[in-house]
């Protein structure tokens, strides 16, 4: 288990699912954690309260990843209220599925805003405050590498953009010892992709291990990248997907 004592992390979309698991794991590793939510204020407050009950400092921040001002403010408030920023995990995301012809301009703009612009702006704002040796980790998707069904063109496109973003950040921030990496989850049991949905059997069959992942499967990789063993790992993409892209 890496020792993240004295570190401050910001996890976007930390109220539920993978983000809540990441926030919990980083706190368990010793970090103080700010987490953002968009609508689920109660769940975010519950996660933060649990982290504090376990002995760390925690902060739940309302922030819309689609709103540039809100993204930057969440970074600023983390620094103001928790004292610094060492680890950014850009996790907030939405899913949409449907016929290519039915994708509207609003849907296109919203998904780009949350999955691409919001991550860029969070990374840019975080880097301005980050201590040297910081960490930027974004959460992509196995669909960035393999698109086995129709209906997910928009989602896949936005998630694959994180690969280029990550490589660019690695070059821009490497001189300060700040690393940037992207973790691509496979089907993970959350509200977004419940393991008992009608599509779940198909999803399971696409993996090599024949099962859904859990939030803690993804959080384990994030914890590694955030810790000292991740010091020389940057600009890289990691599939944590049960072999979905094998
Ligand atoms: P969930 O739907 O369970 O949780 C989504 C999280 O993102 C919530 O905390 C939600 O906040 C937050 N969020 C959504 N929209 C916004 C917004 N506009 N601004 C701020 N926060 C927002 O999803 P998962 O935990 O499953 O997904 C987490 C990430 O992992 C996403 O980026 C997703 O694309 C990716 N992923 C998930 C996979 C899966 O199988 N589950 C597979 C591959 C990738 P609130 O609670 O307030 O609504």
Examine the pLDDT at 56 and tell me if it is beyond 90.
Answer: yes
Q: What is the pLDDT of residue 231?
A: 97
**How confident is the model over 6-14, as a mean pLDDT?**
98
Q: How far is CA 200 from the centre of its chain?
A: 22
8 A C-beta contact, residue 244 and residue 186: yes
What does the domain layout of the chain look like in residue ranges? 8-240
If you average pLDDT over residues 129-141, what whole number do you get? 96
The confidence score (pLDDT) of residue 151 equals 97
Query: Which of 166, 158, 55 lies closest to 110, judged by CA?
Result: 158
Atom 33 (ligand 1) nearest CA: 93
Q: Is the pLDDT of residue 71 over 90?
A: yes
- pLDDT greater than 90 at residue 121: yes
Q: Torsion-angle region of residue 222: left (phi > 0), alpha (psi -120 to 50) or beta?
A: alpha
Query: Considering the domain 8-240, what is its CATH architecture?
Result: 3-Layer(aba) Sandwich (3.40)
For 205-244, write each residue's pLDDT tens digit: 999 999 999 999 999 999 999 999 999 999 999 999 999 9
Looking at residue 1, its pLDDT comes to: 86
Residues near ligand 1 (Cβ within 6 A): 12-19, 36-40, 43, 63-66, 91-94, 114, 139, 141-142, 185, 187-188, 190-193
Kindly give the distance from the C-alpha atom of residue 98 to the centroid of ligand 1, in angstroms, as a whole number.
18
β-bridge partners, 138: 90, 182
Question: Would you place residue 131 in the very low, low, confident or very high pLDDT band (cuts 50, 70, 90)?
Answer: confident
What's the mean per-residue pLDDT of the chain? 97
User: Mean per-residue pLDDT for 127-141?
Assistant: 96
pLDDT in tens, 153-193: 999 999 999 999 999 999 999 999 999 999 999 999 999 99
pLDDT, tens only, 26-48: 999 999 999 999 999 999 999 99
Place of tokens 């405050």: 129
Residue 155: active-site member = yes
pLDDT score for 13: 98
0.90 surpassed by pTM: yes
- % of the chain surpassing 90 pLDDT: 98
Say whether pLDDT at 91 is over 90: yes
CA–CA–CA angle 205, 206, 207 (5° rounding)? 90
- ipTM entry: 0.99
Q: Annotate 89-114 with DSSP letters as a single string.
A: EE---------GGG--HHHHHHHHII
Query: Nearest 5°: CA angle at 32, between 29 and 37?
Result: 110
Instruction: Kindly report the protein residue whose alpha carbon is nearest to atom 34 of ligand 1.
Output: 93
* Residue 112: partners with Cβ closer than 8 Å, 6 or more residues away: 158
Nearest CA to ligand 1 atom 8: 13
Which residues of the chain form beta strands (DSSP E)?
8-11, 32-37, 58-62, 87-90, 135-139, 179-185, 236-240
Length of the chain: 246
């Amino acid at each position: 288990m890496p020792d993240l004592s004295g570190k401050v992390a910001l996890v976007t979309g930390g109220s539920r699912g993978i983000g809540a698991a990441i926030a919990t794991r980083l706190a368990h590793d010793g970090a103080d954690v700010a987490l953002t939510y968009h609508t689920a204020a109660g769940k975010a407050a519950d996660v933060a309260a649990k982290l504090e009950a376990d002995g760390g400092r925690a902060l739940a921040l309302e922030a819309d990843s689609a709103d540039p001002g809100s993204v930057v403010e969440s970074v600023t408030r983390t620094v103001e209220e928790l004292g610094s920023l060492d680890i950014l995990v850009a996790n907030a995301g939405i899913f949409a599925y449907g016929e290519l012809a039915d994708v509207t301009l609003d849907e296109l703009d919203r998904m780009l805003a949350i999955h691409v612009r919001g991550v860029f702006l969070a990374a840019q704002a975080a880097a301005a405050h980050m201590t040297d040796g910081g960490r930027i980790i974004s959460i992509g998707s196995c669909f960035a590498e393999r698109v086995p069904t129709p209906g997910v063109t928009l989602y896949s496109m936005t998630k694959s953009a994180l690969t280029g973003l990550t490589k660019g950040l690695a070059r821009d921030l490497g001189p300060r010892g700040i690393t940037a990496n992207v973790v691509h989850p496979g089907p993970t049991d959350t509200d977004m992709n419940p393991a008992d949905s009608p599509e779940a059997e198909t999803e399971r069959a696409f993996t090599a291990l024949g099962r859904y992942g859990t939030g803690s499967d993804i959080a384990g990789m994030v914890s590694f990248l955030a810790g000292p063993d991740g010091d020389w790992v940057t600009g890289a993409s990691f599939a944590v997907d049960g072999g979905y892209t094998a």
